[in-house]
Each structure stands twice: as C-alpha cells, then as structure tokens.
Structure 1
C-alpha cells in the first residue's frame, strides 16, 4: 500500500486564509466592500466591451457581485462562471438572487492555478482583485489562457504599489506605532500588491501566451459610505486588517487614530480616499 500523499497544494496558505479568517471577514462585510470596490470593477468591465451572448469566466468572484453584473451585461443568451477558493464567500454568492435579464450563472469552488477550467470554453476572463494571490502566477495564467477561445480576451484590476494607495497606507501609518515591529513583506509574494509592478505583470502574461497587453493607470477615490462603515472595513480588511487579525482585542485602541484619518476624507458622498489601480487587458492571440 502506498503512503498517503500529505504534500500541501501549491496555494495552501491562500486556501486556508480565504476559507478561514480572510473569507469570514470579507463575507461579513461584502456589501460594504462591493460598494467600495465597485468603481474599479466597472472600469475593467468597460474596457472589455462585453457582447450579448458571450461566455465569461469571473476569477476570484468572492461573494458574487461581479458575477451578477457580468451576467447582466452579456444578457439572457450569455453565461458567467464564477470561481473562487473561498467556500464561505461562494455560499453567499449562491444565495443571492440574479438580476432580471441576466445570463446563466454558475459558481464553482476552484483553484485557478491548479484546477481544470476546460479548454476554449470562454470568450472572456475577468477579475476584480482576484489574480494577485497565486503562488505560481504564470502557471495560473496559462490555465486561464487555455480556458479562453482563440479570440478570447482578458481584463482584470490589480493594485498599484502600497505607497500609491492612501486609502490603505494612511490608516496603517496612523497606528503603526501601536503595533509590534514587522518585517517588510516580500513584494513578489502572493498578496494584494503582488502585481504592483506593471513590468512583472506584462512578463507573466507574455509567458502565459497572452498578447496585445495594455496596462493603464486608473485613479479614483474609494470609501464604503459613512465614517463608521468605512472604519469597520478598514480595521478588518486589507493590510491593517491582516496586521491585527490575531489581536481583535486591540481594535478599540486602534479605532480612534484610524477614525481621525477617515474623517479628513469625509465628503457629502461619504468617505472618499484616493486609490490607484492598474486596469490590465490582453488578448489570447496576436491581433
């Protein structure tokens, strides 16, 4: 009898995070996060120029908002498959009601880096911040490329560097003196800023077989609504949320300095803090 294979999957750390602490936090605040990140996803959808009847792969679909919006854009003759590694988030997605006139929707628990996505099944691949967490990104994008039809196209949103994103940087800086010292993160490790370098992104996509790669800067302002709503998200999601994930008792102590930062950005439309992302698009073959 052969010994049981106990080798962890390549994305084991991310799978654990998005099925435990990270997935729980995003599930709890998915409405506020969808409000916050919506404008960035809409811009990536805009550059895709989706057509009625197209089949779309939504990578890292989370709690499903982008999947439903994509399904509305491709209409009743189209289809969207939302894939994610987070079972808690997919449970929320599957419980949501589709929009009127939306295309066929399916959700699947899949690791895009390692699982079979099919061959030539999709016209379009899309992601709103779901592609920066692969341990082997080139392998993952080859799998995505394989799943696209020969004339398929890709668009996704990823963050520019941490230093270019006050909405994440300033709250963390306001409480850094209250947190234990930590080593700077590896800029190439899976995480929100793994694709901050556009040259790296271009190289990964080229090696994966994509062509006509365009990486455009998109600057906007983000917020989840009121100061209280944005504070709740900021303390539990992103770099600050990760820094205190195992110290929830510290949240009341940190709330005051973070609130002071958010109040500086309060507008008639709620909190609005500058943010910078890349809108990346590419083709599956040379045009």
Structure 2
C-alpha cells in the first residue's frame, strides 16, 4: 500500500468532496431514512464514552455521531465537531443551539489535520469519513496526537453496500459522458478493503488493542422517489450531478429498475465496519 500522494491533487479532491456534501447539507440525513443515525449511535456505544469526557467528532455532518456523543458525556463533558463543509457546519451548529447543548462546539476544519491542541480529548470519533480522505494514515496519526494517554479512537467505514445499491449506481454511471467518468480505481479505499487491512492501518498509526467488527444496518424506503431524494442528500449526488440534465430521467429510471423492478417499497442492507483502538498499549 503506497502512502505517497500528489498534495495539490489531494487537496483539490478533498475540497471537491466537501463541496458535494455542502450542496446536500440541507437534506443530509433529513429525508426520513434511518441510515447515518443508527450507525453513529452504535459507534458512540462501542467507544464507551463516559460522563465528563472530552470528545472530538471529525467529519461531523449533521450530527449522527455528535449528538449521541453529547448525550453520553453530558453537560460536565464536552464535544467538538468539525467538518470541511461550511453549510453543514452552519446547520449543525443551529441544531446544537436549538437543543441547548452548551457543551458542544461545531467548527469548519479539515478532518485530515484538525487544528486543535495535542492531548486534549478522551476520544476521537470518525464516522464514515476517514476513507474519503486522501491520506487516511496521516489523519489517524493526527488523531492520536490529539488523544490523552488513555484515549480511544473509533472509526467507521463501509464494509459492503447492498448489491442493489451497487447495481443502481452502476446504472446511473452508464449515463455519464466519457469525460465525466472517473478512472476505474479512483476513490477505492484500499486501506479499508478488508477487516485485516483496516486493523493494520490503525496499528500502523500507533493504536493498540484494535478490534474490528462488521455490523449490518437496514434502511427502508417508501418507494423509488424516496430513494432518489435520499441519494441526492449524501455522497451519491456526486454521480447524479455529473449526469447531463437531459439524460437524468432515463438514468433514474434505469436505477429504479435495478433497485426494484416492480416499483414496490425497498429495504437495503448496509454493512458498516467498526474499528476501535486505544492510544495506550494496555
């Protein structure tokens, strides 16, 4: 596994990814689909947060990890959420204020290298973000520096999407003009390809007592229109936005057929990989 990257290209790609999520921020995790929320709550549970602890949530989005972490540490603790998408931060900050969570702060910052003091946090949580970063190993090492000696890391990534979801994305991609198609291997997170490679990545970053578990989550959709609204709200919009407007109806029709040929309600299973580690050896 090579870790050398083109810094300029990596920076451009990172900001392009953030911009996609920024454009979807208003409906991100707000389309009536149980998806990111259960995954975030399970990450908080597995890390074992306690009242009074200090937590960093990198790539906080609309709060799937941030809000349950805030509940777990309580008002005697503190949670800092960071995200590179400004609209996402503005909306989440407003949600936090509405909920009266005075012990939570949300800022615009780079999840790859958070500009925060070393040895500040009891836990760093990274829900479905590290695999999107150009240099995940560097990011994990940066998180380790932010942890206190007894601190813990919690990372999630996608282990496997439902085959029908993959088929739908393939159907959409067929409608992309050649100049808008990505190279075959672009974006594939080799570090997270298997349980073994995921664990090895955390160990290379300096973590100990690493545990890896894959957990299935079910998401239900009322119909295909519900699925499409959900797809526009998160990273899948990166494909939808590259399809020419005149081709989009046909692309969506093909995706709908791949998902549910009869047009009935839909349930997808997504397997999420939970990687938990400690800064200390024991």
Decide: shared fold, TM above 0.5: yes
Tell me whether 1:46 sits opposite 2:45 in the alignment.
Answer: yes
> Counterpart in 2 of 1:4?
none
- Look up the SS of the partner of 1:132 in the other structure: helix
After superposition, residues 12-91 of structure 1 pair within 5 angstroms as 12-18=12-18, 20-32=19-31, 35-91=34-90
Structure 2: runs of 5 or more not aligned: 1-6
Q: Deviations over 1:203-246 (max 9, x none)?
A: 2211221111111111122245554222222256445x323322
Shift of 1:142: 1.0
CA gap of 1:116–1:178, structure 2 versus 1, over 3 A, is closer
CA distance in 1, matches of 2:39, 2:225: 22
Q: TM-score, normalised by structure 1?
A: 0.82
> Counterpart in 2 of 1:219?
216
Shift of 1:265: 9.8
After superposition, residues 218-257 of structure 1 pair within 5 angstroms as 218-223=215-220, 226-234=223-231, 237-239=234-236, 241-249=237-245, 250-257=247-254
Shift of 1:252: 1.7
**Segments ≥4 residues shifted beyond 6 Å:** 264-267
Of structures 1 and 2, the one with the larger relative CO (CA 8 A, separation 6+) is 2
Cα RMSD over matched residues?
A: 2.9
Tell me whether 1:286 sits opposite 2:281 in the alignment.
Answer: yes
Shift of 1:81: 0.2
Verify the 8 A CA contact 2:164 2:258 in the aligned structure 1. no
CA distance in 2, matches of 1:196, 1:38: 23
Verify the 8 A CA contact 2:33 2:230 in the aligned structure 1. no
Shift of 1:61: 0.2
Paired residue for 1:209, among 188, 206, 212? Answer: 206
> Counterpart in 1 of 2:149?
150
- Look up the SS of the partner of 1:272 in the other structure: strand
CA distance in 2, matches of 1:55, 1:113: 19
Q: Deviations over 1:84-115 (max 9, x none)?
A: 11112111111114576856001121113234
Count of residues in correspondence between the two structures: 272
- Look up the SS of the partner of 2:132 in the other structure: coil
Shift of 1:139: 1.4
CA gap of 1:223–1:206, structure 2 versus 1, over 3 A, is same
CA gap of 1:215–1:247, structure 2 versus 1, over 3 A, is same
Shift of 1:200: 2.7
CA distance in 2, matches of 1:34, 1:82: 23
- Look up the SS of the partner of 1:246 in the other structure: coil
CA gap of 1:165–1:44, structure 2 versus 1, over 3 A, is same
Deviates more, 1:245-254 or 1:74-83: 245-254
Q: TM-score, normalised by structure 2?
A: 0.83
> Counterpart in 2 of 1:275?
270
CA gap of 1:200–1:116, structure 2 versus 1, over 3 A, is same
Structure 1: runs of 5 or more not aligned: 1-6
> Counterpart in 1 of 2:192?
195
- Look up the SS of the partner of 1:46 in the other structure: helix
CA gap of 1:168–1:274, structure 2 versus 1, over 3 A, is same
